[in-house]
């Protein structure tokens, strides 16, 4: 009997309660495992913080590329299919009014405006519009522009072939230039139920003075 009692005690069995209990060694192992889990969690949190900081630093250019590629937030498509431009059908029964808007940041010294307030186009047809920018100062000024499309849902169908957006433009003192925008509305516009009642689209540009550390604002989701 004494021998059986010793075996049970060595196995961690509580004779008075009739059950096994945790030995100090098991408790120590549990504490070590818990500490290991805590260290792992701290490592993950630290790594996530580093990644978040890096993404925050690159948020504007990454978001800009994303918007241009997928027409998110009202930006127009970044490129176009040359074959599609040559072969796409013109949807004659649908006429769209394209309006043009121009703005400058508070610190921007240029005069900037569209040469036309609006034009009408059929989906599937190319169109050309112009903006004019002038530097009225006695010093060279470098500008850079952003753009968006309203309503935002129409951005995925607004394809630019030539555009002056996101490129630095230097104007010498009192210099004035014309800036073309060559574009088309994808004919698939008419097949989208969300576009059924959209007959007017606004293309808007905003010019900023290009300075060191400038971060261009991303398009707004809601106006």
Q: Residue 163: which CATH number?
A: 2.60.370.10
Alpha carbon distances (Å) from 95 to 12, 84, 87, 89, 122: 86, 20, 19, 14, 5
Q: How many folded domains does the chain comprise?
A: 2
Instruction: With respect to residue 75, please indicate whether it lies within any of the assigned structural domains.
Output: no
pLDDT tens digits along 132-156: 999 999 999 999 998 889 999 999 9
Judgement on whether residues 92 and 31 belong to the same structural domain of the protein? no
User: Quick check: is 64 in a domain?
Assistant: no
Q: Do 129 and 165 reside in the same domain of the chain?
A: yes
Range with top average pLDDT, 6-20, 49-63, 120-134: 120-134
Rounded to whole angstroms, the Cα distance separating 129 from 25 reads 80
Q: Is residue 46 very low, low, confident or very high in pLDDT (cuts 50, 70, 90)?
A: low
Whether residue 89 is found in the same domain as residue 192? yes
Look at 55 and 142; give whichever has higher pLDDT. 142
Whether 93 and 196 share a structural domain: yes
ω into 151 cis (within 30 of 0): yes
For 50-53, which contacts have Cβ atoms below 8 Å and span 24 or more sequence positions? Answer: none
Question: Using CA atoms, how far apart are residues 192 and 170, in angstroms rounded to an integer?
Answer: 40
Is 215 a domain residue?
no
The C-alpha atoms of residue 73 and residue 206 are separated, in whole angstroms, by: 15
Is the Cβ–Cβ distance between 205 and 101 less than 8 Å?
yes
Both 140 and 87 in one domain: the answer is: yes
CA trace torsion 63, 145, 184, 188 (10° rounding) = 20
Residue-level pLDDT at 84: 76
Identify whether residues 36 and 120 lie together within a single domain: no
Residues 35, 102, single domain; the answer is: no
Is the same domain home to 199 and 98? Answer: yes
What's the CA dihedral at 103, 107, 111, 112 to 10 degrees? Answer: -30
Range of the domain at 4: 1-57
40, pLDDT greater than 80: no
Q: For residues 205 and 136, give the distance between their C-alpha atoms in angstroms, rounded to a whole number.
A: 19
Confidence of residue 222 (pLDDT cuts 50, 70, 90): very low
Q: What is the pLDDT of residue 217?
A: 52
Residue 72 pLDDT exceeds 90: no
Q: Which residue has the higher pLDDT, 87 or 184?
A: 184
Confidence (pLDDT) at 171: 95
Q: Are 90 and 38 within one domain?
A: no
Scan for tokens 């098991």, then name that residue. 26
Do 137 and 111 contact (CB within 8 A), yes or no?
A: no
Do both 106 and 190 map to the same domain? yes
Supply 41's token pair.
Answer: 């969690």
**Is 103 in the same domain as 195?**
yes
Query: Helices (DSSP H) in the chain: which residue ranges?
Result: 2-10, 24-57, 59-70, 82-87
In a domain, 1, yes or no: yes
Q: Do both 13 and 114 map to the same domain?
A: no
């Amino acid at each position: 009997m004494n021998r059986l009692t010793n075996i049970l005690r060595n196995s961690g069995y509580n004779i008075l309660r009739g059950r096994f209990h945790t030995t100090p060694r098991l408790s120590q192992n549990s504490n070590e495992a818990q500490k290991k889990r805590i260290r792992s969690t701290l490592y993950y949190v630290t790594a996530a913080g580093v990644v978040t900081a890096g993404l925050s630093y690159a948020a504007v250019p990454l978001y800009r590329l994303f918007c241009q590629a997928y027409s998110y937030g009202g930006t127009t498509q970044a490129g176009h299919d040359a074959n599609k431009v040559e072969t796409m059908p013109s949807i004659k029964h649908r006429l769209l009014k394209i309006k043009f808007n121009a703005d400058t940041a508070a610190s921007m010294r240029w005069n900037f405006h569209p040469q036309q307030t609006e034009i009408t186009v059929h989906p599937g047809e190319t169109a050309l519009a112009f903006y004019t920018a002038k530097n009225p100062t006695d010093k060279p000024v470098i500008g850079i522009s952003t753009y968006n499309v309203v309503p935002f849902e129409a951005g995925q169908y607004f394809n630019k072939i030539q555009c002056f957006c996101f490129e630095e433009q230097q104007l010498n003192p009192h210099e004035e230039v014309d800036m073309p925008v060559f574009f088309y509305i994808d004919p698939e516009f008419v097949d989208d139920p969300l576009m059924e009642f959209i007959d007017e689209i606004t293309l808007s540009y905003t010019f900023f003075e290009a300075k060191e550390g400038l971060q261009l604002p991303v398009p707004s989701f809601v106006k």
